[in-house]
Amino acid sequence: MIRTSKLNQLNQFLNETGGMASFALRYFRERGKAGYEFKEFLKQCYFTGYTSFPLVGLTGFIVGMVLTMQLRPALVQYGVESQLPQMVGIAIIREIGPIITALIFAGKIASSMGAELGSMKETEQIDAMEVSGTSPFKYLVVTRVAAATLTLPILVILADAVALYGSFVGMNIRSNTSFTLFFRQVMGILKFGDVLPAFVKTFFFGFAVGLIGCYKGFNAAKGTEGVGKAANTAVVIASVSIFFIDLIAVQITDLLGLN
């Protein structure tokens, strides 16, 4: 019984992986075809980017402040408090900013896409689009995945800036540091190898979030339970994918000597 259960789980995992790979290939094929739903793309950019920024910004501010306040006592103990801006800056730019922003993005956008497309499938709106001659995949999936791929890197840049400001505020709770000095210390320690890999991998984070959210919604089971399951599993798989992509990005960065 246990062996049969494990085989079923493995089979389900392989089927899910193959389905997502096929879905991704179809995305690139459809995106390469003539004609593009530009208005829908802009609408999705507004939804995935603009409406996500308040949550992302608040989270970034709190993370930057808390990280600074947690690190400060240890650095004071060893007499290296002056290095606090450099340490916080590197941590936020290289890892914490992209990962935290991507996870918040996955929780909001992947679940929303899964639920929205699942509901459209349940109410047969997708079938109606096919009957009317509109490609539902190109209109619904391509625009959403492209918007998520584009807007997440922008959100990460904004979140990093807000997080660094939160760090500055956290420093000034116990000391008096000018913003100019703080900014110079942060920028002075950053290198090309710190910024570029962190920025490039956010495109892959956004692509994974958009693709998984659309895939789960497009293939949701019938009924309200199926829609809810699609939204929940989209968040879980997208979050795990973010960590997996980050692991690969770190290995590639290390091989290229950018660390």
Element (H, E) at 42: helix 38-45
Task: Inform me whether the pLDDT recorded for 195 exceeds 70.
Answer: yes
Is 14 inside any structural domain?
A: no
Token pair for 113: 């896409």
Number of domains in the chain: 1
Strand intervals (E) in 176-249: none
The per-residue pLDDT of the chain, averaged, comes to 88
Poorest-pLDDT segment among 64-68, 192-196, 198-202: 192-196
DSSP 37: -
Is 87 inside any structural domain?
A: yes
Task: Inform me whether the pLDDT recorded for 204 exceeds 70.
Answer: yes
Three-state DSSP class for 222?
Answer: coil
Q: Which residues have CB under 8 Å from 124's CB, separation 6+?
A: none
Task: Inform me whether the pLDDT recorded for 157 exceeds 90.
Answer: yes
pLDDT tens-place string over residues 127-143: 888 788 778 888 899 99
pLDDT tens-place string over residues 12-58: 778 888 889 999 998 998 887 767 788 889 999 999 999 999 999 99
Task: Inform me whether the pLDDT recorded for 82 exceeds 90.
Answer: no
Give me the pLDDT at residue 84, please.
87
Give me the pLDDT at residue 147, please.
95
What average pLDDT does the segment 156-179 reach? Answer: 90
Domain that holds residue 206: 36-255
* pTM for this model (two decimals): 0.91
Is 30 inside any structural domain?
A: no
What average pLDDT does the segment 116-131 reach? Answer: 84
Token pair for 121: 């499938």
Task: Inform me whether the pLDDT recorded for 259 exceeds 70.
Answer: no
DSSP 106: I
Is 24 inside any structural domain?
A: no
- Among residues 194, 188, 192, 186, the alpha carbon closest in space to that of 250 is found at 194
Is 241 inside any structural domain?
A: yes
Is 28 inside any structural domain?
A: no
Q: How confident is the model at residue 242 (pLDDT cuts 50, 70, 90)?
A: very high
Is 103 inside any structural domain?
A: yes
Token pair for 131: 């009957």
Task: Inform me whether the pLDDT recorded for 225 exceeds 90.
Answer: no
Give me the pLDDT at residue 153, please.
96
Q: How confident is the model at residue 80 (pLDDT cuts 50, 70, 90)?
A: confident
Token pair for 195: 């910024």
Is 207 inside any structural domain?
A: yes
Give me the pLDDT at residue 3, please.
65
- Among residues 114, 91, 144, 121, the alpha carbon closest in space to that of 239 is found at 114
Give me the pLDDT at residue 210, please.
94
What average pLDDT does the segment 210-215 reach? Answer: 94
- Among residues 237, 216, 214, the alpha carbon closest in space to that of 227 is found at 216
Give me the pLDDT at residue 258, please.
67
Give me the pLDDT at residue 257, please.
72
**Please, is 7 exposed, middle or buried when counting C-beta atoms within 10 Å of its C-beta (0-12, 13-18, 19+)?**
exposed
